[in-house]
Amino acid sequence: MTPLDTPAAPSTASPADAPVLTIPADAPFFVVMNAGSGRRQTDATRAVLERELGGAGRRFELRLVDDPAELAASARMAVEDAIAQSGVVVGAGGDGTLCAVAQATLGSGCPFAVLPRGTFNYFSRDHGIPADLDASTRLLLTARAYPVQVGVVNGRMFLVNASLGLYPKLLEDRETYKRQFGRSRLIALLSAAATLLRRHRHLRLHIEHEGQMREIRTSTLFVGNNRLQLEQIGMKESALLEQGLLAAIAPRAIGRLAQIALSILGAAGRMSDADNVMSFTFRSITVTHPSKRRRRVKIATDGELAWLDMPLEFHVAPEPLFLLKPEPDIALANRS
The pLDDT of residue 149: 96
Q: Which residue(s) pair with 65 in the sheet?
A: 34
Length of the chain (residues): 336
DSSP secondary structure letters along 18-42:
SPPBPPPTT--EEEEEEGGG-HHHH
Q: How confident is the model at residue 321 (pLDDT cuts 50, 70, 90)?
A: very high
What is the rounded CA–CA span in Å between residue 322 and residue 110? 7
Mean pLDDT of 147-154: 97
CATH 2.40.30.60 fits 156-316, yes or no: no
> Per residue in 159-216, pLDDT tens?
999 999 887 777 776 667 666 766 666 666 666 666 655 666 788 999 999 889 999 9
Mean pLDDT of 29-44: 88
List CB contacts of 12: < 8 A, sequence separation 6 or more: none
The pLDDT of residue 199: 64
* Sequence letter at residue 177: Y
Task: Please give the span between the terminal C-alpha atoms of the chain, in angstroms, as a whole number.
Answer: 25
What is the rounded CA–CA span in Å between residue 74 and residue 63? 8
| pLDDT surpasses 70 at 234 | yes
The pLDDT of residue 288: 93
**CB of 260 closer than 8 Å to CB of 251:** no
The pLDDT of residue 10: 42
What is the rounded CA–CA span in Å between residue 151 and residue 283? 9
List CB contacts of 180: < 8 A, sequence separation 6 or more: none
List CB contacts of 77: < 8 A, sequence separation 6 or more: 63
Mean pLDDT of 130-154: 96
CA torsion angle 52 58 64 70 (round to 10): -140
Q: How confident is the model at residue 9 (pLDDT cuts 50, 70, 90)?
A: very low
What is the value of pTM for the model shown? 0.85
The pLDDT of residue 14: 63
* Phi then psi dihedrals of residue 46, to 5 deg: -60, -40
Same fold, 15-149+319-334 and 156-316: no
Q: Which CATH number fits domain 15-149+319-334: 3.40.50.10330, 3.40.50.1980, 3.30.70.260, 3.30.70.2860?
A: 3.40.50.10330
Q: Report CA-CA distances (Å) from 193 to 164, 170, 173, 187.
A: 18, 9, 10, 10
List strand residue ranges (DSSP E) for the chain, in order.
Answer: 2-3, 29-34, 60-65, 88-93, 112-116, 144-148, 151-153, 156-158, 161-165, 203-209, 212-218, 220-224, 246-251, 277-282, 284-288, 296-301, 304-309, 312-316, 321-325
% of residues, the chain, pLDDT over 90: 57
The ranges assigned to domains in the chain are 15-149+319-334, 156-316
Q: Which of 154, 186, 181 is nearest to 299 (CA)?
A: 154
What is the rounded CA–CA span in Å between residue 30 and residue 225? 26
* Sequence letter at residue 157: M
The pLDDT of residue 64: 95
What is the rounded CA–CA span in Å between residue 197 and residue 217? 20
pLDDT averaged over every residue in the chain? 85
Q: Which of 222, 226, 227 is nearest to 239 (CA)?
A: 227
